[in-house]
Chains A and B, each alone.
Chain A
Amino acid sequence: TQLLEQSPQFLSIQEGENLTVYCNSSSVFSSLQWYRQEPGEGPVLLVTVVTGGEVKKLKRLTFQFGDARKDSSLHITAAQPGDTGLYLCAGVDGSSNTGKLIFGQGTTLQVKP
């Protein structure tokens, strides 16, 4: 069974600090997605990483896919209160032909002004 271990699960930082969220697996994924979810809303797709070693940037957010496609990281530079939310990594379950996603446990980020 493919699993995604996400860490840390909770993070509370001051505005302006940097942080990194990790998503690790012992299995290879064809791609990994990162979502951000605000309370009472559905997850919103931030990025999909597909190629091993790939780095994608979205303003102050940098996403990296491991060379072996088993892990990914999300780095936020100079965090803002608006970055507060639940961050989720997800990958397609390779044992299923429906494209269902396996989710990490999530990282709840709180950025204090």
Chain B
Amino acid sequence: GAVVSQHPSWVICKSGTSVKIECRSLDFQATTMFWYRQFPKQSLMLMATSNEGSKATYEQGVEKDKFLINHASLTLSTLTVTSAHPEDSSFYICSAQGLAGTQYFGPGTRLLVL
């Protein structure tokens, strides 16, 4: 149980395009999901907290107009990187919070912006 999926697992796009990443909790409902960014051999950096049915809460320094988050249902949150640039290339990971508060992580999405 407690499986979280992400789609796509990797994506290559041209600079200036937008990319949408989906995060789904497959066998449980999650009112709260989290989006992280990770650089090679570094820890996870929290970008934002996604709440079902309400606006996301962004961490300091994260541009909300750049990283659009939508949490339309209890099993799906999406992160859209708008007008992506090479510096947005990274590994993006989501997590979904279960009933006991434990976070279950997705497998990550590697984004490469050319």
Total interface residues in chain A, CB < 8 Å: 22
Out of B43, B95, B101, B106, name the residue touching A88 (CB < 8 Å): B43
The reply to whether the CB of A86 lies closer than 8 angstroms to some CB of chain B is yes
For window 32-63 of chain B, which residues contact chain A by CB distance below 8 Å?
A: 32, 34, 41-44, 46, 49, 51, 57
**Once the chains bind, are B43 and A104 in contact (CB under 8 Å)?**
yes
**Once the chains bind, are A106 and B104 in contact (CB under 8 Å)?**
no
On chain B, which size bracket covers the interface?
A: 20 to 34
At the interface, is chain A mostly helix, strand, loop or mixed? Answer: strand
**Once the chains bind, are A42 and B106 in contact (CB under 8 Å)?**
yes
How far, in Å, is B20 (CB) from chain A's closest CB?
A: 18
- Please, which residue of chain B has its CB at the minimum distance from the CB of A98? B49
Out of A35, A41, A48, A105, name the residue touching B108 (CB < 8 Å): A41
- Please, which residue of chain A has its CB at the minimum distance from the CB of B105? A42
**Once the chains bind, are B32 and A45 in contact (CB under 8 Å)?**
no
